[in-house]
């Protein structure tokens, strides 16, 4: 049997290419945030056995309630991500292995009794993940204000390391751009991350035998397979779908 360090040392090095041999090129510096993020993402990708579970959940009722809420509260704006943060936080207590981290020696699991949700924010300098703390204690209006303020700070002034630490899980939403699925990389030391892409209209059978159009939200849950099994991942995503449909979510 070949041991792993020996195998890794035997891999062919990446070729050093002089691309100007093939045509005109331009050298662009990579921002400090992108360099740091790249190092963390590379580490997480190679050290965590990722599996991504894809599903679609029906958000027709949730979207109708969100639209009505926005009409009644012109001073605030609920985006879909706010409801997803709230739903994720609400299901985590019933799935303690998702709100956990592996100890450094891999021999124990640290179960977190707090629920803090990271939200991936795309900034001109790169991707950052500010953390919203104690999500369950906040109303949706408070969450919307916090998310807007954190995204604005991330894009303008930048965030401190403390503002990006201490998450239970993170959400990475590409829903405002598009997509039907992707494989987000876990934001270690978290053990799972929820990827969101754009709502799709799908035909479904109506009770009268006809067809109704439903709004389906694609969810892509990447999880650390050392900690979470596939059946729990499938149940977890279904539970998020049920929570999104719960009228109490808008409290
Ligand atoms: N399906 C369809 N539309 C969606 C949607 C979805 N799943 N999610 C959001 N939208 C819509 C919103 O309803 C809003 O529409 P209106 O302006 O018409 O009301 C619009 O998209 C823009 O939303 P937003 O981006 O202003 O706000 P948000 O709360 O949806 O997202 C934030 C906030 C910070 C998550 C987002 O701006 C962002 O930066 N996302 C990028 C994250 C990222 O890059 N992840 C990839 C990481 S891996 O490289």
Question: For a pLDDT cut of 90, what percent of the chain falls above it?
Answer: 91
Nearest CA to ligand 1 atom 10: 176
> What are residue 192's DSSP bridge partners?
223
Ligand 1 atom closest to the CA of 177, numbered from 1: 21
Q: How far apart are CA 228 and CA 98, in angstroms?
A: 7
Q: Is the pLDDT of residue 251 over 80?
A: no
Q: What is the mean pLDDT of the chain?
A: 95
Question: Using an 8 Å Cβ cutoff, are 143 and 150 in contact?
Answer: no
| pLDDT value of position 223 | 98
Query: pLDDT band at residue 67, thresholds of 50, 70 and 90?
Result: very high
Nearest CA to ligand 1 atom 11: 176
Q: How far apart are CA 48 and CA 191, in angstroms?
A: 9
| pLDDT value of position 4 | 87
Question: Using an 8 Å Cβ cutoff, are 194 and 63 in contact?
Answer: no
Tens of pLDDT, residues 88-122:
999 999 999 999 999 999 999 999 999 999 999 99
Ligand 1 atom closest to the CA of 176, numbered from 1: 21
Write the CATH number of the domain with boundaries 15-250.
Answer: 3.30.559.10
- Measured at the CA of 251, the angle between CA 56 and CA 70, to 5 degrees, comes to 75
Probe residue for ligand 1, chosen from 52, 79, 121, 149 as the CB with the greatest number of ligand atoms within 8 Å:
79
Distance of alpha carbon 142 from the chain centroid: 20
| pLDDT value of position 157 | 87
Tens of pLDDT, residues 153-204:
999 988 999 999 999 999 999 999 999 999 999 999 999 999 999 999 999 9
User: Could you confirm whether 50 is annotated as catalytic?
Assistant: no
Residues, the chain, total? 251
Q: What would the mean pLDDT of 209-225 be, rounded to a whole number?
A: 97
Q: How far, in Å, from the CA of 196 to the mean position of ligand 1?
A: 9
Q: Which candidate, 213, 173, 175, places its Cα nearest to that of 193?
A: 173
| pLDDT value of position 125 | 86
Domain borders along the chain are 15-250
Q: How far, in Å, from the CA of 125 to the mean position of ligand 1?
A: 18
């Amino acid at each position: 049997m070949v041991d792993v360090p020996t195998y890794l040392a035997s891999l062919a090095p990446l070729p050093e290419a002089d691309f100007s041999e093939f045509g005109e090129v331009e050298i662009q510096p990579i921002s400090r945030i992108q360099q740091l993020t790249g190092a963390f993402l590379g580490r997480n990708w190679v050290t965590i056995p990722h599996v991504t579970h894809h599903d679609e959940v029906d958000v027709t009722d949730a979207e109708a309630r969100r639209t009505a809420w926005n009409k009644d509260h012109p001073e605030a704006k609920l985006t879909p991500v706010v409801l997803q943060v709230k739903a994720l936080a609400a299901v985590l207590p019933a799935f303690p292995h998702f709100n956990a981290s592996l100890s450094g020696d891999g021999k124990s699991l640290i179960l977190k009794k707090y629920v803090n949700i990271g939200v991936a924010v795309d900034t001109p300098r790169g991707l950052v993940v500010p953390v919203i703390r104690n999500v369950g204690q906040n109303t949706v209006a408070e969450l919307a204000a916090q998310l807007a303020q954190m995204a604005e700070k991330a894009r303008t002034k930048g965030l401190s390391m403390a503002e990006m630490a201490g998450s239970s899980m993170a959400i990475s939403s590409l829903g405002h751009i598009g997509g039907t699925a992707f494989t987000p990389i876990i934001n270690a030391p978290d053990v799972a991350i929820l990827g969101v892409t754009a709502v799709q209209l799908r035909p479904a059978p109506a009770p009268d035998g006809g067809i109704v159009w439903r709004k389906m939200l694609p969810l892509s849950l990447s999880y650390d397979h050392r900690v979470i099994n596939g059946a729990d991942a499938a149940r977890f995503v279904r539970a998020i779908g049920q929570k999104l449909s719960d009228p109490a979510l808008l409290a």
